[in-house]
Amino acid sequence: MSLFSIIASRLWSETMMQDALNYQVNSAIRPEVIYLGLEKTPLIMIDNFALDLSGLRQQAQHSDFMRESQTYYPGQRAVLPKAYVAASLNAVYQLIYQVYQVPETLRLKPQMLFYALITQPENSLHPLQCMPHFDTSSTYYFALLHYLNDGPHGSTGFFRHKPTGFERVTDQRRQDYFQSAQQFIDQHGAPPQRYQVQSNQHYELYHQIPYQANRLIIYPGNLLHSSLVDVATDINGSPATGRLTANMFIDFV
């Protein structure tokens, strides 16, 4: 039984299974594995992921985007079409198992699935929004980020924490990272109230993946990363012209 069948049977109706045929992944995709930083963490990049983005874009333009108050995401989110999620995960889940050596005893579990737009101006940012972040310290939790609109828009940047040298915040490193980061802030003050788009005394930007329509990237959620927000183009609540992404977060449990 394919992952598509498992997910569809457990989570969605037969109607949604039929609708999945409207979202077709390019059968000729050629994944590229990029090894990031000094720790050589694999990142999977797939260009031309979908055969056609028009349906996904139109769906976004008719979706209800809302601010998520329970997270620090600096923008608005809307629900992704379930059929698109199923088709996308079915196309890449075996690749994730292979590249990241996920134990076969673990099973994929979708966590958060949403369209995203950056809408928050810099003068309203919380200090934590002015620093790189990690999604979780779990070993087998991954982010899938699909760029949907035409550019130009800001890249996705990956950062190294200079005091510790950490590029990933694992369960074993979590306490040391938080203590060190807080110590730096205590000594040097809170970060400037702006999006972090380059290196500074606290973090080094060591790699970035440019925003390109129909590019999908997959990376571990414990990598320190951030959207490299271009305030001229990216702070835009329009699904037609903003920095629109499809964000899928998955865990293996």
* Dist. CA 237–CA 234, nearest whole Å: 9
pTM, 2 dp: 0.90
H-helix segments, the chain? 3-11, 14-19, 54-61, 82-99, 174-188
The number of beta carbons lying within 10 Å of the beta carbon of residue 246 is 25
Q: What is the pLDDT of residues 52-89, one digit of tens each?
A: 999 999 999 999 999 977 788 999 999 999 999 999 99
* Dist. CA 169–CA 136, nearest whole Å: 8
Q: What are the backbone dihedrals phi and psi of residue 43, each rounded to the nearest 5 degrees, phi first? A: -125, 130
Q: Which amino acid is at 172?
A: Q
Q: What is the pLDDT of residues 131-160, one digit of tens each?
A: 999 999 999 999 999 999 998 999 999 999
Closest of 190, 181, 127, 139 to residue 159, by C-alpha: 181
Positions in the chain short of pLDDT 70: 1-21
pLDDT value for 14: 39
Beta strands in the chain (DSSP E): 32-36, 41-46, 66-67, 75-79, 108-118, 141-147, 156-161, 203-209, 216-220, 225-227, 245-252
pLDDT value for 71: 81
* Dist. CA 117–CA 74, nearest whole Å: 8
* Dist. CA 221–CA 144, nearest whole Å: 9
Beta bridge partners of 41: 36
pLDDT value for 22: 72
HSE-CB for 104 with a 13 A CA cutoff: 0
Query: Token pair of 160, please?
Result: 């190294």
pLDDT value for 8: 43
Q: In what order do the strands lie in the sheet containing 41-46?
A: 32-36, 41-46, 216-220, 141-147, 245-252, 108-118, 75-79, 66-67
Q: What is the DSSP letter of 201?
A: S
Query: Alpha carbon of 70 to those of 74, 76, 136, 144: distances in Å?
Result: 11, 12, 15, 21
pLDDT value for 69: 75
Q: What is the DSSP letter of 132?
A: -
pLDDT value for 70: 75
